[in-house]
Amino acid sequence: MPTRPRWTWLARFTGTLAAGALMVYVAFRLDEGDLPMYTRMGLAAIVAVGLSLLMGFAGQISLGQGAFYALGAYTTGILSVGLRPADRLVNPEAAWDPLFALAAAPILTGAVAAVVGVPLLRLRGHYLAFATLALHLILLAALFAEDRFTGGQDPGLVGIPQLEVRGHVIEHARLAAVVWGIVALSVIMAVNLVGSRAGRALQAIATSEATAAAAGINVAMYKLRLFVLAAGLAGLAGGLFSYYLLFLSPDAFPLITSITFVVMVAVGGMGSVYGAVVGAIAITYLEDKLRELGTREQLLGFDLPVQAPQVFSIGVFGAILIVVMLFAPRGLLPSLQVATRAVARRLRRRTQAASGAA
């Protein structure tokens, strides 16, 4: 397989770095009211980058990223408060340093993914999708059951300290900047992975697992590693989410969370790292607007129920998935790029034909 010139990689690396620096800069220029959504966009982008690799190259449709997201959040939250919240009142040293608690989130989620991934990745198609969705249900049940550690639904996990690094509190604009800095690093890592020897093996797997296996590629190993990587990124995003919210409850991680991540990847294009970021931004913005719409008392003269925000999200996201699967299976953005190139080629041909006739 031919390798791309080094200048192409350098241009892409420089462009990604510049875009990341711009997104970090934007965090310090936004109003206080816009920072929460901007931070959530970055957190979703971190998860979407890993899931895009998993779905685009390993062909694994995972509906369990919300579970890894929640596991990372509770790992960081519990460790930063103390294994038991009551212990911290007696022994303040029971709590971990917030930075170490954050670092533990991707490690634990990656370890859990390595354990559960061995049997799960033997499944395919909708069987795998439902199995990973079951992970989310199991985790939610555990969060409610082990309320002495998690706080349950009421009062929840309270007392999470702010992220602090060498005496500097990371909150508001700083936290958003850190999140988007990690997004840039995640994109650079993913792009380098795709362009590496392992990435070429993943591309072969995405084309045909049987052919890749015949060529000597350990398909199961690559799938598992990619599953662990995607889970680790989700866990890291979840850990950052705990410092964003400073309070955790199982209600913060409904089942729609996992479906939302899949919609982000579907919109951005499976296997498209940059598309995953664009999809995360677009869907997070749409989700916020749907929530605002659902909180109205009336819409078009009809009274709205309390569940309207969830109903709107499920309905709209379900419609997006149906449209993507029927008309743009590669994703909306890649399909739009293909259509744009086709139109440009037609225009060039017409221009050349007109000039030749003249």
Q: For residues 260 and 60, what is the distance between their CA atoms, to the nearest angstrom? A: 16
Query: How sure is the predictor about 88, in pLDDT bands with cuts at 50, 70 and 90?
Result: very low
Number of residues written out for the chain? 358
Express each pLDDT in 181-216 by its tens digit.
Answer: 999 999 999 998 988 888 888 888 877 888 888 888
Q: Which pLDDT tens digit goes with each residue over 164-190?
A: 888 889 999 999 999 999 999 999 999
Is residue 75 scored above 50 in pLDDT? yes
Lowest mean pLDDT among 136-140, 144-148, 159-163: 144-148
User: Would you call 210 exposed, middle or buried from its count of C-beta atoms within 10 A (0-12, 13-18, 19+)?
Assistant: exposed
Please tell me the distance from the alpha carbon of residue 219 to that of residue 197, in angstroms, as a whole number.
14
Domain boundaries, the chain: 6-327, 332-358
Q: What is the pLDDT of residue 9?
A: 73
Lowest mean pLDDT among 76-80, 152-156, 221-225: 152-156
Position 338 scores a pLDDT of 79
Confidence of residue 357 (pLDDT cuts 50, 70, 90): low
Confidence at residue 126, expressed as pLDDT on a 0 to 100 scale: 77
Q: Which two three-digit tokens encode residue 302?
A: 């009809």
Lowest mean pLDDT among 235-239, 280-284, 344-348: 344-348
- Degrees (nearest 5) of the Cα angle 195, 196, 200? 80
pLDDT grade for 62, boundaries at 50, 70 and 90: confident
Residue with tokens 């951005």: 268
Tokens of 166: 């060498």
Q: Is the pLDDT of residue 91 over 70?
A: no
Confidence of residue 83 (pLDDT cuts 50, 70, 90): low
